[in-house]
Amino acid sequence: MEVCRRLRAQPALDDAFILALTGWGAERDRRRTSEAGFDAHLTKPMEPQALQQALAHYAGAWPRSG
């Protein structure tokens, strides 16, 4: 989480898409990743189609709007 926060603090990375891939998937875990600045949250084991869906979902929202 700290890495994401630090990346988000870098102006050059403001539009970066950052995805959390974790073994934790409860609502509180998803809320924490969102609060840290992640754009998406996937849980392990990850299905390839889940990654494709996350990328497709966010592709139309770029550049990141703050």
Cβ(42)–Cβ(51) below 8 Å: yes
Could you identify the residue written with the tokens 């998937």?
25
Residues 9-37 have pLDDT tens digits of 999 998 889 999 999 999 999 999 999 99
Question: What pTM was computed for the model?
Answer: 0.81
From residue 32, alpha-carbon distances to 20, 23, 35, 59, 60 in Å are 10, 14, 5, 22, 24
CA angle 37, 40, 43 (to 5 degrees): 120
Phi-psi region of 51 (alpha: psi -120 to 50; beta: other; left: phi over 0): alpha
Is 50 or 14 the better-scoring residue by pLDDT?
50
Kindly tell me if the per-residue pLDDT of 65 is higher than 70: no
pLDDT confidence band for 60 (50 / 70 / 90): confident
